[in-house]
Structures are given as structure tokens and as C-alpha cells.
Amino acid sequence: MLTAFALLAAWSPAEAACTTSYAPAELEQRLGAAEAAYVALDVDAFRAAAEEARLLLPCLGGALAPSVAARVHRVEGLRLYAGGDEAGARLSMAAARVADPAYRFPDDLLDPAHALRVAYEAMPTVEVATRPLARPRSGTLLLDGLESRQLPDERATVFQVIDEARAPLSTSYLRPGDPLPAYAHRPPSQVPLLVGAGVAVLGAGVLYGLAWSAHDAALDPTDTSLDATGLEGLQAQALAFTVASGGALALGVGLGVGGVLPEFRR
């Protein structure tokens, strides 16, 4: 059993360091105990095992496989549903459906006519909406056991930051709207900005050349075919190309500054 001190440390709002590190297999044992108690209609045993699994999660010493992450979501969904939080249960079940789409609830765990199972089986098995996350400065992000930097917007997620040896630096259970756990991340690459700056400056040069060409044509004393309308057209072209060249140059300078100074790249 988890000690009370370890549980409190794991659930501290300040994310205090866990006193013990637990292997994913130990988490699976609690999840299995919760499922068995649910089948046996042992409410107290189910709540105890599900709560232990929930509080053990932040103290994991290993990366979760997608199937285990899905199992975490299913047990959490059952726990929330049993506690009357149907909306929260659906967020967890939606995550389980995406993380392990081949899973089917045994009839003794959830009856085929159970409202939660019916809802679960109707949920999409692919991601609906996500938002990008910054790349970690070191290590990798695991979302429900898969390397990803696309955080789901409409379901729960087991969020892990793992190091190069695949040891978790942090593990959190996130629901939509929960604050993202803090982790050191890399600033966006300046290469696209610098490439864009180069293209913009090059474009500014081309546009300025066109403006100068139109200007020269308008002032060409040897061209006797130009009437007043043609002259006005060349002057308008020269002005338009000059303005566009100035805009492209300003864009190039802005992108170049953004590509060089880190504070402009955050």
C-alpha cells in the first residue's frame, strides 16, 4: 500500500517531490484491483484502488505505454461516473477511446446497455482538436504514451516529460483547461524567420528594380510613342513598385530582427 506521506507528496499542489518512485506495473496492479472491485460491486474497494492509482500516477518511474494510459483513463472515467461527474467521466473515456481504439469493455465490467459504455463506443477513435506544444529543451513529451507535441483540446491526457533514458521527469493527468505543467522548452527556431527575411529583402530589391525601370522608361527622351496617358501609367507603376519595395524591405528587417534577438522569438 502507498504510505499516507507518499500520497500527500504526490498530490501536493506545489508538486512536491515524491518520496517513492513506482514502476508502471505497480500502477497496473492498482488499476486491475479497481476493475475487479467494480465488477464485484465492492464500492469501497473500488474507490480505494482507483484513488491509489490516481495518486500514484505523478510518482511513476517509467514511461507509460498507450494501452496503460488508456486503462488509466477508463478507471478514472469509472471513478468520476460513480461519483456523479458524468461530464468528467466522458472526458476520460474519450481519451481512452483514442489511446486504445481496439479495446472493448467486458460485459461484466460495463453492461452493453450502460449509458457510459454506449457513449464510449460512439466516441471518435481519432483526434478531433489539438494545440501545439513547445519542444522540450531536453528529453521528449509523451501524451498518453506516444511521442507528440499536439495536446488534445477536448479530452483528458496523461502528460509525461521523459528524459533521454525514458525516465519521467514529470507525469500529470490533464483535463481541458488545466494549466500545462512547467517544463524547460526550446525557443522556436530562428531559421524560418531568417529565411523569410532574406526572401523579403530579395523581393524588395526586385520591386525597387521594377520601380527604377518604370521611372527610366517614363523619362526616356527617345521614346516618342508615349502619350500623356502612357506617361501617367509608367509614373503610377514606378510609385506602386517603390511603395511595395519599401514594405517588403520593412518586413525583411522585422523578420531579421525577430530571427536574431531571442526576446522577439518567444
156 close to 76: Cβ distance less than 8 angstroms: yes
User: What's the domain count of the chain?
Assistant: 2
For residue 208, being part of any structural domain is answered with: yes
For residue 48, being part of any structural domain is answered with: yes
DSSP-based three-state secondary structure for 142: strand
182 CB neighbour count, 10 Å cutoff: 9
Among residues 134, 138, 135, the alpha carbon closest in space to that of 167 is found at 138
16 close to 9: Cβ distance less than 8 angstroms: yes
Stronger pLDDT, 196 or 4, i.e. the higher one: 196
122 CB neighbour count, 10 Å cutoff: 8
Stronger pLDDT, 24 or 241, i.e. the higher one: 24
Cα gap 198→188, rounded to integer Å: 18
Cα gap 94→88, rounded to integer Å: 10
Whether residues 23 and 129 fall in one domain: yes
Q: How many CA atoms lie within 13 A of 121 on its CB side?
A: 11
Task: Domain of residue 200: give its range.
Answer: 191-264
Task: Give the CA distances from residue 69 to residues 57, 157, 171, 210, in Å, rounded to whole numbers and listed in that order.
Answer: 10, 8, 11, 60
Tens-place pLDDT, residues 50-84: 999 999 999 999 999 999 999 999 999 999 999 99
Name 7's Cβ contacts closer than 8 Å, sequence gap at least 6. 52, 55
Whether residues 67 and 131 fall in one domain: yes
Strands (E), the chain: 130-132, 140-143, 146-147, 150-152, 157-162, 168-174
Tens-place pLDDT, residues 188-232: 555 565 566 677 667 767 766 765 675 666 565 565 565 666 556
- Per-residue pLDDT band at 139 (split at 50, 70, 90): confident
What are the two backbone dihedrals, phi and then psi, of residue 103, each rounded to the nearest 5 degrees?
A: -70, 140
For residue 43, being part of any structural domain is answered with: yes
Whether residues 12 and 141 fall in one domain: yes
Cα gap 80→155, rounded to integer Å: 14
Whether residues 195 and 170 fall in one domain: no
